[in-house]
Chain A
């Protein structure tokens, strides 16, 4: 059974770079049938898609975050990662990694989420 697990610092200082990794277990990240994405949710608010990556490394990002976001994949470790630069308090959120099917781009498997707070 495929599982996703987010990991990374829970506290990041303003202006620094937020870095998270999603480890995929129980299946291969190199499947041609799926994309791998990051979604976030500020406390008490709705969901915001950050970006997605294919196992080949091709990416697509939310235009509103594109200038600050880098998503990468490491197929040898079955992981993909998120970097968000120049963070502010507005980037405080629960960050989820998730799998989407390339046939319809809905996210069918999600990690449990990790809370990241931006504060000095």
Chain B
């Protein structure tokens, strides 16, 4: 099984900050990586697919990069609505795994 390791697990930041979250795969997954945002009591929301493709309707301050085993999600200027938990998810050979999550808190 492919393991996904997210870091940090918690991040404290202020409105306007540039935020970067990292996701590492235990083996190469090419660009088969997605990023989600989840708020308490709600279903996750897809932000990024195929490592760097922005889902329709998602603000352009969100961006994704990486390939192989190392990936990043960047929020260019953190907004009040962005305080949430973020998950990465990989797909490889008919198996999917989520990362452990990164909670973005208000500093």
Do A and B belong to a common assembly?
A: yes
Which residues of B8-47 are within 8 A (CB) of A? Answer: 32, 34, 36, 38, 43-46
Assign chain A's interface to a size class.
Answer: 20 to 34
**Contact mask for chain B residues 78-89; partner A; CB cutoff 8 A; 1 contact, 0 none:** 000000000101
Contact B44 A105, beta carbon cutoff 8 Å: no
Once the chains are docked, how many angstroms separate the CA of A101 from the CA of B44? 16
Contact of A104 with B32 at beta-carbon distance under 8 Å, contacts A47-B44, A63-B95 already known: yes
Contact of A105 with B43 at beta-carbon distance under 8 Å, contacts A46-B87, A46-B101, A63-B1 already known: no
- Nearest CB of A to B7, in Å: 14
Contact B43 A46, beta carbon cutoff 8 Å: no
Closest to A97 in B: B43
Contact B97 A49, beta carbon cutoff 8 Å: yes
- Nearest CB of A to B90, in Å: 9
Which of A46, A106, A110, A112 is within 8 Å of B34, CB to CB? A106
Contact of A60 with B95 at beta-carbon distance under 8 Å, contacts A47-B87, A108-B55 already known: yes
Q: Answer yes or no: B100 CB below 8 A from chain A CBs.
A: yes
**Contact mask for chain B residues 60-90; partner A; CB cutoff 8 A; 1 contact, 0 none:** 0000000000000000000000000001010
Collect the chain A residues with CB atoms within 8 Å of residue B36's CB: 47, 107
Contact A104 B95, beta carbon cutoff 8 Å: no
Collect the chain B residues with CB atoms within 8 Å of residue A107's CB: 34, 36, 44, 46, 89
Contact B1 A105, beta carbon cutoff 8 Å: no
Once the chains are docked, how many angstroms separate the CA of A48 from the CA of B98? 6
Contact B44 A104, beta carbon cutoff 8 Å: no
* 8 pairs of residues in contact across A and B, judged by CB atoms under 8 Å: A46-B101, A47-B89, A47-B98, A47-B101, A49-B96, A60-B94, A104-B34, A108-B49
| A-B CB proximity, top 4 nearest | A106-B34, A105-B91, A110-B43, A106-B49
